[in-house]
Structure 1
Amino acid sequence: MKLLHIDSSVLGPHSVSRQVSAAIVDRLRAATPSLEIAYRDLTQTPLAHLSGSHLAAAQGAPAPAELGPDLAASAAVLNEFLDADIVVIGAPMYNFTIPSQLKAWIDRVLVAGKTFKYGANGPEGLASGKRVIVAISRGGYYGAGTPAASLEHLETYLRGVLAFIGITSPEFIIADGIQVGPEHREKSLANALQAATSLRAA
């Protein structure tokens, strides 16, 4: 069984989402010692954002020579995702949504014919067999019923994207309010880490 671990926070060791995603992976590794783990840090090895040349190459047009390494990176990222049975994603909220580094990764994973296809009844996800666990960190409180709920475009976006490719039951561990104050941060992180240790085995 293979696990793909993705981190996207720019805060390094100070990141809550990184701490929680690492705890998730540790829990699954302890439960299944034979688990094969691949790790990709999207801030250490960032992917370029899509350009017209990328889209043209995807349609079969000749790619400029300078785009070659990036197209190879795209293929590697997609293959990592396709090969994984479990995907763990560290996703902090930046300005009410996902980091741009994570968006660039998603753009390489949502590929027609690979993770979704269009049929007579519309789009059909092709990645339905995967287990996806997302570690979310948010500076404030954005849950249902909170004053800022309408600004929540992190969890909602990821649920929509994952459902589009066939992953309809992702698991979320959420640390909210980490910028409200030290006590809020400590309590939220502790609760998220506890939730990580309670995950079912791989």
Structure 2
Amino acid sequence: MNILHIDSCALGDHATSRQTTAAAIAALVAENAQATVLYRDLAASPLSHASGPLLQAISQRWDAGIPMNAELRAEALQSASLLQEFHDADVIVLGAPMHNFSVPSTLKAWMDRLLELQRTAASEPRRAARLLLVTSGCGVSGVGASEELMRNHEQQLTAAFQYLGVSRVDVVRDLADVQQVLAPQRAA
């Protein structure tokens, strides 16, 4: 089993999403000793945000009037590598907290690259994977509909990852949810 573990919360190891993704990884590895885990911390090692030239390069819509430099070429290669990591995973454990009513910008930068590359490769078969989508946050005072905000956050992320070929999305908000979501797997 190949597991891709992504954290994106900038608040450090005490953040709820990071604690929950760590617990999910521990439970998955305990169930499968042969599991390999690839860890990517988008807050500690952020990707650059997708510029127009980068989007053109990775989507194969390059404007010959824009010079292709080494930095842009490296960004395009890194983007392809990120998509390969994603496609190689059997399970993706993704920490996607709500930050200022959206995902952290570092997670958005990662997703922009995957979604643009997937659009280009839309005719290629997508590998079915499972996503444990760890959400947290939305502790915004003065907003009465925080549960509705979280559901919207989770629905948008679910739609994006279904577009990327994820066949099963399990939303996990806390440590108790990890046990509940993984319990049926243990029974099987």
For this structure pair, what is the TM-score category when the shorter chain's length is used for normalisation?
0.7 to 0.9
Q: Kindly indicate whether residue 80 of structure 2 is the aligned counterpart of residue 75 of structure 1.
A: yes
* Aligned sequence identity (%): 38
Q: Which amino acid aligns with 1:101?
A: T
Q: Secondary structure at the match of 1:154?
A: helix
Q: Structure 2 length as normaliser, TM-score?
A: 0.82
Deviation (angstroms), 1:154: 2.0
- 8 Å Cα contact 2:83/2:114 also seen in 1: yes
Deviations 1:2-44 (A, max 9, x none): 1100000001112110000010010000000100110000011
**How many angstroms apart in 2 are the aligned matches of 1:3 and 1:70?**
24
- 8 Å Cα contact 1:23/1:197 also seen in 2: no
**How many angstroms apart in 1 are the aligned matches of 2:82 and 2:153?**
21
Q: Secondary structure at the match of 1:4?
A: strand
Q: Which amino acid aligns with 1:47?
A: L
Q: Give the match for residue 37 of structure 2.
A: 37
Q: Give the match for residue 178 of structure 1.
A: none
Q: Give the match for residue 14 of structure 2.
A: 14
Q: Secondary structure at the match of 2:50?
A: coil
Deviation (angstroms), 1:167: 2.6
Q: Give the match for residue 57 of structure 1.
A: 57
Q: Secondary structure at the match of 2:57?
A: helix
**How many angstroms apart in 2 are the aligned matches of 1:30 and 1:105?**
28
Q: Give the match for residue 121 of structure 1.
A: none
**How many angstroms apart in 2 are the aligned matches of 1:194 and 1:27?**
12
Structural RMSD (CA): 2.3
Q: Which amino acid aligns with 2:179?
A: T
Deviations 1:96-149 (A, max 9, x none): 1111111111112122244x34xxxxxxx94351011111112338xxxx7345
Judging by fraction of residues, say which structure has more helix: 2
Deviating 4+ runs (over 4 angstroms): none
Q: Which runs of 5+ in 2 are unaligned?
A: none
Task: For 1:1-202, list aligned pairs within 5 A.
Answer: 1-58=1-58, 59=60, 61=62, 63-110=68-115, 111=117, 112-114=119-121, 116-117=122-123, 126-127=125-126, 129-140=128-139, 147-152=145-150, 153-174=152-173, 192-198=174-180, 199=182, 200-201=185-186
Q: Structure 1 length as normaliser, TM-score?
A: 0.76
Deviation (angstroms), 1:86: 0.7
Q: Which runs of 5+ in 1 are unaligned?
A: 118-124, 175-191
**How many angstroms apart in 1 are the aligned matches of 2:125 and 2:73?**
27
Deviations 1:71-103 (A, max 9, x none): 222122111101111111011111111111111
**How many angstroms apart in 1 are the aligned matches of 2:17 and 2:126?**
24
Deviation (angstroms), 1:55: 2.3
